[in-house]
Chain A
Amino acid sequence: MSITIENMTKSFGSTAVLRGIDLTVESGELVALLGPSGSGKTTLLKIVAGLEWPNSGGLNVNGQDWLGLAAQDRRIGFVFQHYALFPHMTVRDNIAFGLTVRPRAERPGKSVIAAKVEELLHFLQIAHLGDRYPAQLSGGQRQRVALGRALAIQPTVLLLDEPFGALDAAVRRDLRAWLRRVHEETGSTTIFVTHDQEEAFELADRVVVMGEGRIEQIGNADQIHDHPASPFVARFMGATIELPVVLSAGRAEAPGLDAGRLPRRALPDGPATLFLRPADITPVADPSGRWQVSRCTSNGAILRLELTDGAQTIPVDLPRRALEAKGLERGARVILRPETAAIFPGPRPSQAASAATELPRKEKAQ
């Protein structure tokens, strides 16, 4: 079941939530919608489910126009963030719900439904929980029941809204591998929403990064990590340090910066901004260096430095045993040697606009 979304927009009152989304999901694909809260990812998922309606745009599934179909008729499996299990029904009745509400003519017989539920209970490894009520289950168990309920109707498309958001880290890792297996065994086309990068990259075939109602980038972990398509993606992927530079013949230049390890870029000369991760910078001791170590802490393995040039303070992480770490203490002068970085033309956005993405450490240091 391939899903095609074309030029979709949606606003709540005067707030635009989706500003023109184009996306194609291939049959059998597992796609993650990744983005911070407010990026429109859940709204997009709910539109595909038929729980929200766009202001404009198209939604086609296998050539069929889904905007003319009610949620009831789309046959999707939707797993809600907080599971939304029916509290007064047992696990068995929850899973059977979608089959028991079918019109009488299409409804399978009681024994067929019971057998189907039993099969799903085994498949989801919750066979011993069939007679419990949702209130008697742990978060991970509820998640499995919610997925079982969605799978019972043999959905054309499986949609999951922050499927692991409410679970603790260990259960989350377990369920991730398990969901991947479920996806492969059922062969369903699956879209899930998350704000957790690790989850998105580990689980999905393709990751769609969303920000402020637009698709910023589509790709796999390496592509998005190494070649962010926009400043937004760079910041979201952890490149929170933004240095103003000047591009000259494709190379970034700034006082106190040794950009020798960065490849040349086919970008016009002029002002640009370098986006860096704290771990991708090597500070090189230089008595006349522009940057000075203003703070130095260690967790044993990693040395965390704060470097300042008087105007800007940036965090830098490096292995404590690295050669370059020798002699780096408070007051030492260094220059920056980025190992990898993203460059976007144009001056660095104003402080106010980028304040939200900067580290709290910085404010303390100033």
Chain B
Amino acid sequence: MTATAIKPKRVLPGFSLSLGTTLLYVALVILIPVIALILKGAQIGPAQFWAIVTSPRTLSALRVTVTAAAIATVFNAFYGLLMAWVLTRYDFPGKRILDALMDVPFALPTAVAGISLTALYSANGWFGAPLASAGIQLVYTLAGVTIAMAFTSIPFVVRAIQPVLEDLDPALEQAAMTLGASPWQIFRRVVLPAIFPAWLAGSTVAFARSLGEFGAVVFIAGNLPFKTEIAALLAYIRLEEYDYQGAAAIALVLLAFALVLLILSNWLQFRAARHLESKG
């Protein structure tokens, strides 16, 4: 008695080929650079690593980066929520154009963004001149760094919330209305819980992106050590000085930040969304 194993046929051909290609790509483009960075960092040794990371200039750069990114993210979280709300809830002429404009920071080379922001906010720019006459200077300050970060990361928030808001069943809000809830109560107790996971995810990614932003920031920041020098630029400077270990140590700290944020965001989303899966 011999039993022949029946091999189930897959509907779509080329599974192994497509999976293999994907894995190879992920390995080459994402995994290997990250591993190389970690290995490079591991060669430094804990004592020296600590010395590099806690040197006043590195600490200052990290502080500038995190502060500016945090301010930019808080701003974007609220402004992005408002943008997504306007784009999904109202119909007005030019809505599609506004919607398309939201992608400009994605598409624009960050260096171009940095140069135009600098031109706008410099002492003789369109915004900079009136601000300068009021005694406010934005370029070469932390505020400038924040503006550049906010500019490049806003689409992450908008594009994360928008589809969720679009899919939100209007009957939920109507139900709350018939039950006597005020507009604010409807937003606070029905809409916000529904979009919260997406909002959180979008804001976290925006924050991670701001931490690593380079091109848009370096032009407007002026890069004064201990004042407006960001961590990514400091790593670049170390590299220019052939100080590979210094560069790797700073890069590792940024990587750790990003990883922790991603894990935190996923965990919070999982917690917030755990009751929402429908059995169909």
Contacts and interface: CB of A to CB of B under 8 A. Distances in A.
B180 A136 contact: no
Most B CB contacts (10 A, CB to CB) among A75, A87, A150 go to A87
A54 interface: no
B253 to A, nearest CB: 36
Contacts of B278: 87, 135
Contacts of A70: 177
A101 B180 contact: yes
Interface in A46-96: 49-51, 70-78, 80-82, 84, 86-88
B181 to A, nearest CB: 4
B179 A133 contact: no
Given A51-B174, A78-B174, A88 B181 contact: no
B179 A98 contact: yes
A76 B179 CA distance: 7
Interface residues of A, number: 29
Nearest to B171: A84
Nearest to A82: B171
A153 interface: yes
Interface string B245-280: 000000000000000000000000000100111110
Contact of A49 (B176, B178, B189, B272): B178
B177 A102 contact: no
Contact of A135 (B178, B189, B194, B275): B275
A84 B277 CA distance: 15
Contacts of A80: 171, 174-175
Interface string B163-205: 0000001011011111111100100011001100000000000
A190 to B, nearest CB: 15
B178 A101 contact: no
Nearest to B177: A71
Contacts of A149: 175, 179
B177 A101 contact: no
A144 to B, nearest CB: 15
Contacts of B194: 87-88
B174 A72 contact: no
A76 B176 contact: no
Given A87-B194, A135-B276, A135-B278, A153 B174 contact: no
Given A88-B194, A135-B276, A136-B279, A76 B178 contact: yes
Contacts of A97: 176, 179, 181, 189
Given A72-B182, A82-B169, A88 B177 contact: no
A135 B180 contact: no
B177 A51 contact: yes
A46 B169 CA distance: 16
Contact of B178 (A51, A88, A136): A51
B139 to A, nearest CB: 44
A156 to B, nearest CB: 12
Given A87-B276, A135-B277, A135-B279, A77 B185 contact: no
Nearest to B179: A98
A2 to B, nearest CB: 20
B276 A72 contact: no
A71 B178 contact: yes
Nearest to A88: B193
A120 B91 CA distance: 41
A136 B280 CA distance: 10
A70 B181 CA distance: 11
Nearest to B275: A133
B180 A72 contact: yes
Most A CB contacts (10 A, CB to CB) among B182, B272, B275, B278 go to B275
B178 A50 contact: yes
B180 A78 contact: no
A80 B169 CA distance: 11
Contacts of A81: 171
A82 to B, nearest CB: 7
Interface of A: 49-51, 70-78, 80-82, 84, 86-88, 97-98, 101-102, 133, 135-136, 149-150, 153
Which 6 residue pairs are nearest across A and B when measured between Cβ atoms?
Answer: A98-B179, A84-B171, A133-B275, A101-B181, A78-B178, A84-B175
Interface of B: 169, 171-172, 174-182, 185, 189-190, 193-194, 272, 275-279
14 contacts: A50-B178, A71-B174, A72-B178, A80-B175, A82-B169, A84-B169, A84-B172, A84-B174, A87-B275, A87-B276, A88-B276, A97-B179, A135-B278, A153-B179
Given A50-B178, A97-B189, A149-B175, 9 more contacts: A70-B177, A77-B178, A80-B175, A86-B175, A97-B176, A98-B179, A98-B181, A135-B275, A153-B179
